[in-house]
Amino acid sequence: MSTNLPARRIGILGGTFDPIHRGHIDLGEAAEAALGLMRLFVVPAHVPPHRPRTDASSFHRFAMAAMTVSGRTAWRVSDIELRHAAPSYTTTTLQMFHERGYKPWELFFVIGADAFADIESWRDYPGLLDAAHFAVVSRPGHAVRALPERLPLLAPRMVRLPVERLHEIDPVIVLIDAPTADVSSTAIRQRRAKGEPITGLVDLRVQQHIEQHGLYAPIFPDRRGTDNASNPAAGGLHGQN
């Protein structure tokens, strides 16, 4: 490997983001601070392989992600997955970043320890671990210190900060112990369905967007005996569908 390449540190924070919430923000901020990322791409999935569908459309999920990163100098929302109809697999997304000129040792795939604990079930495992560094951040109830025991075969690849000259070594699994909010997209959707507040769980602009467009709201039968599940607000943005 040549060591004369620029030491770019590019973070990738992927997810369904249905909706994007405080926990996602904490993951990104922890990785940005710990690794000195020069750029963090927030990448909403188009077709999540683990779910048959999303509750909010790609238009809304992209819009909410854009609101969340607004004002953060190094953060950008990428539509790299939304422009492809195929299921959004991490291995495919990393390959697309390689095709854009990024080297594996320049990329840091940011992920929570809870999600990484299931990495052995991911497509193209273990090969995808050679496509980028994996920056694994603690989540409530899922400390990174427990991962070596949970994933003993990967323990030799796990490192803790500080790690010097990451751009000159083959991809590793960087363990970042940092506090992150105890919140999930599922919990937010459930709270909305029950008419409960979500203040503080998402960016204020995202909360306003959710409420304005009636996203994740309860489904009530209308007077014709049907329900409002086909409400276009959940599937389109400003007339799109």
Provide the Cα torsion 56, 58, 63, 69; round to 10°: 100
Residue 60 in this model has a pLDDT that exceeds 90: yes
Full set of structural domains in the chain with CATH:
10-176 (3.40.50.620)
The band of 231, judged by pLDDT with boundaries at 50, 70 and 90, is: very low
Q: Which pLDDT belongs to residue 6?
A: 54
Q: What is the reported pTM?
A: 0.88
Return the SS3 of 76.
strand
| Dist. CA 201–CA 181, nearest whole Å | 8
Lowest mean pLDDT among 48-52, 157-161, 172-176, 225-229: 225-229
Which H or E element spans position 92?
helix 90-99
Mind giving me the DSSP string for 30-46?
A: HHHHHHT-SEEEEEE-S
164 forms bridges with which residues in the sheet? none
Cα–Cα distance between 33 and 53 in angstroms, integer? 33
